[in-house]
Amino acid sequence: MSSAATRCPICQEDAYTPVVTKNDFSYLRCHSCHAVYVRPMPTAEALQAHYQAASYFSGDGEQGYRCYADMHKALAPHFRRRLMLLSRELGQPGRLLDFGCADGYFLEEAHAKGWAIAGVEISDAMAAKASERLGIPIASTLSNVTGNHFDAITLWEVVEHLADPVSVLSDLRDHLRPGGLLALSTPNVDHWQAWREPGEWTAYRAPSHVVLFGMAAIRLALTRAGFERISVHPTAPLPPLPRWLDRATSRLREGLSSGQARAWPATLAVWRIVRLTAWGCYRLGRGEGDVFATLEVSAWRPR
Q: Each residue of 275-292: pLDDT tens digit?
A: 566 555 555 544 444 556
Q: Is the pLDDT of residue 84 over 70?
A: yes
Percentages of the chain per state (helix, strand, coil), in multiples of 5 = 40, 20, 35
Query: pTM for the full model?
Result: 0.79
Does residue 24 come out as left (phi exceeding 0), alpha (psi in the -120 to 50 range) or beta? left
Burial of 14 (0-12, 13-18, 19+ CB in 10 A): middle
Supply the pLDDT for residue 252.
55
Supply the pLDDT for residue 50.
86
pLDDT one-digit tens code per residue, 22-43: 999 999 999 999 999 999 999 8
Contacts of 234 (CB under 8 A, 6+ apart): 188, 215, 289, 291, 292, 294, 295, 296
Q: Is the pLDDT of residue 4 over 60?
A: no
Burial of 171 (0-12, 13-18, 19+ CB in 10 A): middle
Tell me, what DSSP letter sits at residue 159? G
Dist. CA 97–CA 278, nearest whole Å: 42
